[in-house]
Structure 1
Amino acid sequence: MDRLTARWPYVRWLPVGLIVAATAADSATPPEYTSVPLVASACVLAGATLTFRGTAWTGVFALVVTLLANWHLGLLSSATGWGEALNVVLATAIALDVNRMLDRHGRRLATARSVAGVMQGAVLPSPPARIGSLLVAARYEAADAEARIGGDAYAIQDTPHGIRVLMGDVRGKGVGAVSTTATLIGAFREAAHHVPGIGDLADRLEQSLERDRAQNPHSDRDEEFTTALIAEIDQRGHTLRILNRGHPAPYLIRDGRTTELTATAPGLPLGMGGLTDQPTTPDSFTLASGDTLLFVTDGVTEARDPGGAFYDPAGLTVPASGTDTPAATLDALADDIHHWTGGPRDDDMATLAITLT
């Protein structure tokens, strides 16, 4: 169970400290004053912070201290003294029940986390560390630490047409967004091998999402759409072609400097392509050995500092040592973002880095 003592170990001594402080105050004040309510509160606090055995021993300690204090004050022969002891016993019983409920909740939460981890591994598996001459690394961080998975998607595939990359972000929440993410990645992995152009590949992905939505007409996916970035690196690693469907632009890191690869005319997100007849034209860029491509979702570009300013990945500085790996690039980016926000984020964050060797 994820108790407060796992984060702040000193909290485990707080119940005992309260009991000792209450007893000292009881001894230093007139007989009319009683600190039993504070002792009872300490017992209940023990149930929320300690183990079942620790809670029981805290209750025993509180009862012994209460009986000794009442004996010292000559109250054991009165109904008041035994009433105070009964209050401590009842508080201990309540604390033990609270402890058992929290323990059951902790086990259920651990099971939910385990299931979420399995779902993430199935829907969003880690890419291979090397594909041909490319080094690859990916990272996913959910804004909700308990959720573990959301609507961000990435995939990389070695195909006869080149090495193709998908970066997407499903605009939706809950199980529906996870289902759409699975459909998107599955469609990409299948179509990337057979569709020669990345423009046609984007159309194929949109058709798959439309079919999936049509098969679930009463779900919460009616207003979903997916921003997507489809990239293709030729087999020699000299040319990068990018088709942007409403997604944050990727970045090129060369000689330690980060440059945004802005789309000339980005298209509408997947799921909204029927609103226009104008096709989206891919942009081409020249690559060189040692370049690193950085793909992100808007959890990166919309991360804010305490003043509300957005984070700009173009300000990321990576040492031009020639030995940096894509994993090190993602580590540097994550550290930079966490330093920028200074706290929790409001959106999921998916990143993918590819280094040409």
Structure 2
Amino acid sequence: MIDLSTPRTVSAAALYAAAILSAAPLLSLRGTVLTGVFALLIDWMMFRYFGYRRSAIAMSELITLATVTVIASFLNRLLYHRKAQLESVRDIAAAVQRAVLPHPPDRIGPLRFAARYEAARADARIGGDLYVVVDTPFGVRCVIGDVRGKGMGAVRAVAVGIGTFREAALHEPTLTGLSERLEQAVVLETQQSGNLTELEGFVTGVLVEFPRRGDEVRLINRGHPAPLRILGDTVQYVEPGRRSLPLGLGALDAGPECVDTVPFPEGASLLLYTDGLTEARDETGTFFDPIGTCTGHLRAGPDALLDALIADQCRHTGGRRTDDMALLVITHAPNNS
């Protein structure tokens, strides 16, 4: 249309070349080649229409478009192989996440579970946050934690923490003994890392135990954000009776381990989360407050609550995410529900 509506001295050759190059990342190899052939055909028809069919300008322009077609085809293949490689890496990362951070069971006895993991980077599948649910002879035990640092060092620490918790939760009769085992594992991992910065590593976390009998829950908070207990229309933070240092820094804490016991009747829910939830900010720097979301969405079920939390936080931050976020909801449902 530009060729036909402009003087004979004006050429749209640059647009033909742009069309071919634009096809390379968007279409298949066949589509890219056909775009080049179509551009060459239209350009040749325009030269014939204007009487330049055998001119040096026409030959030079057609050769240029043919060269661009060859280059675009090469770029198309290169991008295809890069995309296939990226998809392979993502599949491997997803498999690693399923192995290291498996989804908890939907239900154990009267307890229902729902979990979500949201990585800070959209193309990442695993990071430094963790959660585990284990059915043990002493009751159902859970942990949620946040490893200091990023990268493979954090992923390795997550794997160590999850493995230690799964093994120790089945054999340690007390929650304090389980906490000590995790403390030892974190200290040993940081000492064996061989990296001076990783020697400063620690893990914040909350250990939770639901006894076989009794409508209560026991918690040990090791420097982690306080969980939220939801009962009817009441949502409140479960603050620890005594502040403890994170796992890995226990040698600096001279006080005794504090186990908090909280009523957990039928209909109650406990929201465990990492600081990626509450430290998310909007444009004015205001932190996200999950209490409002928890108040209005629990009746639809734990999965609906987590979906609502993620959606509300996304609206609060405008879609920006600067930290990994792990969420775990445990609901005490009636046995017949």
Question: Shared topology, TM-score over 0.5?
Answer: yes
- Over the matched positions of the two proteins, sequence identity in percent amounts to 43
Shift of 1:237: 4.6
Match of 2:263 among 277, 286, 308: 286
Matched, 1:348 2:321: no
Q: Distance in 2 between matches of 1:258 and 1:342?
A: 25
Give SS of 1:177's match. Answer: helix
Q: How far 1:32 moved relative to its partner?
A: 2.6
1:113-164 CA distance string (max 9 Å, x none): 1000100000001111111211111111112121111011001122232221
The CA RMSD measured in Å over matched residues stands at 1.7
SS in 2 for 1:180: helix
Match status 1:66 vs 2:66? no
Tell me which amino acid in the other structure corresponds to 1:352.
L
Normalized against structure 2, the TM-score is what? 0.94
Aligned to 2:302: 326
Q: Summarize deviations over 1:72-91 as a string: whole Å, max 9, x none.
A: 11111210011111111111
180, 188, 193: which is aligned to 1:203? 180
Calculate the TM-score normalised by the size of structure 1: 0.89
Deviation at 1:168, TM superposition (A): 0.3
Q: Distance in 2 between matches of 1:32 and 1:256?
A: 76
Corresponding position: 1:192 with 2:169: yes
- Aligned residue for 1:122, secondary structure, equals helix
Q: Is the 8 A contact 1:164 1:192 kept in 2?
A: yes
* 1:102 CA drift (Å): 0.7
For 1:114, the equivalent position in structure 2 comes to 91
- After TM superposition, the structure 1 = structure 2 runs for residues 83-232 of structure 1, keeping only pairs within 5 Å, are 83-218=60-195, 221-232=198-209
Unmatched runs of 5 consecutive residues or more in structure 2: none
Separation (CA, whole Å) in 2 of partners of 1:332 and 1:213: 37
Deviation at 1:276, TM superposition (A): 2.5
Distance of 1:272 and 1:282 partners within structure 2: 18
Distance 1:104 1:353 in 2: 41
Q: How many angstroms does 1:307 deviate by?
A: 2.3
8 Å Cα contact 1:256-1:320 kept in structure 2: no
Question: d(CA) in 2 for partners of 1:317 and 1:184?
Answer: 29
Q: 1:297 aligns with which of 248, 251, 274?
A: 274
What CA distance in whole angstroms lies between the structure 2 residues aligned with 1:328 and 1:92?
Answer: 51
Aligned residue pairs, count? 333
Q: Assess if the C-alpha contact under 8 Å between 2:294 and 2:305 holds in 1.
A: no
C-alpha distance in 2, partners of 1:256/1:150?
34
| Structure 1 unaligned spans of 5+ | 1-23
In the alignment, the residues of structure 1 paired with residue 243 and residue 134 of structure 2 have an alpha-carbon distance, to the nearest angstrom, of: 23
Name the CA shift for 1:209/1:334 in 2 (closer, same or farther; >3 Å): same
* Post-superposition offset of 1:220: 6.2
Q: Identify the range of structure 1 (45-54 vs 193-202) with the bigger mean alpha-carbon deviation.
A: 193-202
Q: State the alpha-carbon separation in 2 of the partners of residues 244 and 220 from structure 1.
A: 25
Moved more, 24-33 or 148-157: 24-33
